[in-house]
C-alpha cells in the first residue's frame, strides 16, 4: 500500500527583484502548475494499474500538459479495506489537488464523503445516480462526473458467451466483492437470464486470496460448473491466482477484463478501461481550463471487446464455435 508522487521541480529565478523585471518578461512567466491526484486501487507494481496511469498521463500530454512543467500528478497506489481507502483519500485531499481521478466506486465514495468542492472524476460503477454521485447522467450537478465501466445487460451477455463456449455447464458462480456494489448489476442480469439458458446462477462473495482459493477449490469438485468474474480492482489483483485455479480445476471462466485472457484466462468480454482513462484526461483538461463537473455529462460504455484464448480452450477440452471466432475482436493462439 505505497504511494508514488510525481513531483514537479522548479528552477528559481535569479537575481533581480520582480519589481525591476520588464513587464514583457513578467507576462511570459509560465502559468501556475496544476495538480491532479489519482487514487489507484492497484499495487504500484501491477502492470494493469501502470498501463492505466500511463494512458491517463499520455492523454494529458496530448492536450498540452507536461508533467514537470505545467502539471503534477500524484498517484496513490494500493489495495486495502474500507479504512485504508478512506485514509488514502484523506491523504490525497491534503495535497490540495485541482482535480482528483478515482479508480472505481470504492475510491470515489470516500472522496465524495470527504469533499463536496474538489472536482472528482470517477471511473467505475454502473449507476452513479443510484450511488448518489450525481443528480443525473446528463447534468451531474455537483463536484463529480466521470465514466461508468459497467453496463447491467453485460451480465447476461457474459453468461451467454460462457454457455456458448462450454455448453455442458449447468451451474455458474459469479465472483463478486461484497464491498463493491457496481458488479452486482452483472450478477443480477446473469441470474435473470439463467432460466432461459438452462443454468443455475449463484453469487459467490469473496474479498481475499484465501476466500478465492476456497471457493474455486469447492467449485472444482462440482461437475459442469462455470465461473463469471466481473470487474473489481480488489479481485483483479488476484487474477493470476484465479487463472491458475481455473486451469487446475478445469473450470470454464469468463472475465470482464481483457488482461486476464492475455494472461491465460479462457475468454473476456468488457470495456477497454485504459481507453476510459485516456478519455478521463479530456475531462480533467476541461476542468483545469475552467469547466465544472456539474456540466460534464457522465459517459457510459458503448464498445465492448471479446477476446478468446484458444490455447486455454484446448487445455480445457473445449471446441470454440466458429460463430464466436468470427465475433471475437482478438483470438490468442
Domain shared by 144 and 158, yes or no: no
What pTM did the predictor assign?
0.84
Query: How far lies 167's CA from each of 163, 267, 298, in Å?
Result: 5, 14, 37
Q: Which three cell numbers stand for residue 246?
A: 481455473
Give yes or no: residues 240 and 160 share one domain. Answer: yes
Give how many domains the chain has, as a whole number.
2
Whether 8 and 112 map to the same domain: the answer is yes
* CATH at 191: 3.40.50.2300
Sheet holding 99-103: strands in order across? 3-5, 71-77, 34-40, 99-103, 120-123, 144-147
**Is the same domain home to 131 and 212?**
no
Confidence of residue 67 (pLDDT cuts 50, 70, 90): very high
322 and 255 fall within a common domain: yes
- DSSP one-letter code for 313: H
> How does pLDDT run across 11-24, given as a tens digit for each residue?
333 333 333 333 33
Q: Is the dihedral of CA 107, 113, 114, 116 positive or negative?
A: positive
Q: What are phi and psi of 322, to 5 degrees?
A: -55, -30
* Residues 114 and 210 placed together within one structural domain of the fold: no
Cα distance between residue 273 and residue 333, in whole Å: 23
Q: What is the pLDDT of residues 177-188, one digit of tens each?
A: 998 887 777 788
Instruction: Looking at the structure, tell me whether residues 263 and 321 fall in a common domain.
Output: yes
- According to the model, what pLDDT value does residue 31 have? 65
* pLDDT tens track for 90-140: 999 999 999 999 988 889 999 999 999 999 999 988 889 988 999 999 999
For residue 314 the three cell numbers come to 484446448
Give the per-residue pLDDT at 22. Answer: 38
Residues 139 and 282 in one domain: yes
Contact 265, 196 (CB under 8 A): no
197 and 122 within one domain:
no
pLDDT higher than 50, residue 64: yes
DSSP, residue by residue, 133-183: S-S-SS---SSEEEE----TTHHHHHHHHHHHHSTT--EEEEEE-TT-STT
Whether residue 202 is found in the same domain as residue 118: no
Q: What is the dihedral of CA 239, 186, 49, 283, to 10 degrees?
A: 170
Domain membership of residue 235 as a residue range: 154-270+304-332
Same domain, 208 and 327: yes
Q: Quick one: 288 and 171 in the same domain?
A: no
Amino acid at each position: 500500500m505505497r504511494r508514488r508522487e510525481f513531483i514537479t521541480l522548479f528552477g528559481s529565478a535569479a537575481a533581480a527583484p520582480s519589481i525591476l523585471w520588464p513587464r514583457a518578461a513578467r507576462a511570459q512567466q509560465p502559468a501556475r502548475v496544476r495538480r491532479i491526484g489519482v487514487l489507484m486501487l492497484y499495487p504500484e507494481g501491477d502492470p494493469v494499474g501502470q498501463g492505466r496511469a500511463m494512458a491517463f498521463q499520455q492523454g494529458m500530454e496530448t492536450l498540452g500538459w507536461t508533467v514537470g512543467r505545467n502539471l503534477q500528478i500524484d498517484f496513490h497506489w494500493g489495495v486495502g479495506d474500507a479504512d485504508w481507502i478512506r485514509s488514502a483519500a484523506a491523504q490525497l485531499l491534503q495535497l490540495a489537488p485541482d482535480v482528483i481521478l478515482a479508480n472505481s466506486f470504492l475510491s470515489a465514495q470516500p472522496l465524495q464523503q470527504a469533499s463536496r468542492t474538489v472536482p472528482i472524476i470517477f471511473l467505475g460503477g454502473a449507476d452513479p445516480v443510484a450511488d448518489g454521485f450525481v443528480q443525473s447522467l446528463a447534468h451531474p450537478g455537483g463536484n463529480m462526473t466521470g465514466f461508468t465501466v459497467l453496463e447491467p445487460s453485460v451480465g447476461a451477455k457474459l453468461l451467454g458467451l460462457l454457455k456458448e463456449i462450454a455448453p455442458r455447464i449447468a451451474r455458474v458462480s459469479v465472483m463478486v466483492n461484497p464491498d463493491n456494489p457496481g458488479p452486482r448489476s452483472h450478477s443480477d442480469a446473469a441470474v435473470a437470464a439463467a432460466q432461459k439458458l438452462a443454468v443455475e446462477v449463484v453469487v459467490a462473495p469473496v474479498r481475499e486470496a484465501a476466500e478465492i482459493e476456497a471457493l474455486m477449490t469447492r467449485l472444482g469438485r462440482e461437475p459442469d460448473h462455470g465461473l463469471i468474474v466481473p470487474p473489481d480492482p480488489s479481485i483483479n489483483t488476484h487474477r493470476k491466482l484465479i487463472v491458475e485455479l481455473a486451469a487446475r480445476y478445469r473450470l470454464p471462466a469468463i472475465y470482464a477484463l481483457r488482461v486476464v485472457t492475455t494472461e491465460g484466462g479462457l475468454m473476456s468480454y468488457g470495456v477497454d478501461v485504459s481507453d476510459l482513462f485516456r478519455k478521463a484526461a479530456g475531462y480533467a483538461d476541461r476542468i483545469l481550463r475552467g469547466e465544472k463537473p456539474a456540466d460534464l455529462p457522465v459517459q457510459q460504455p458503448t464498445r465492448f471487446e471479446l477476446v478468446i484464448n484458444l490455447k486455454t480452450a484446448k487445455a480445457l477440452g473445449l471446441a470454440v464455435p466458429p460463430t464466436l471466432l468470427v465475433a471475437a475482436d482478438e483470438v490468442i493462439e
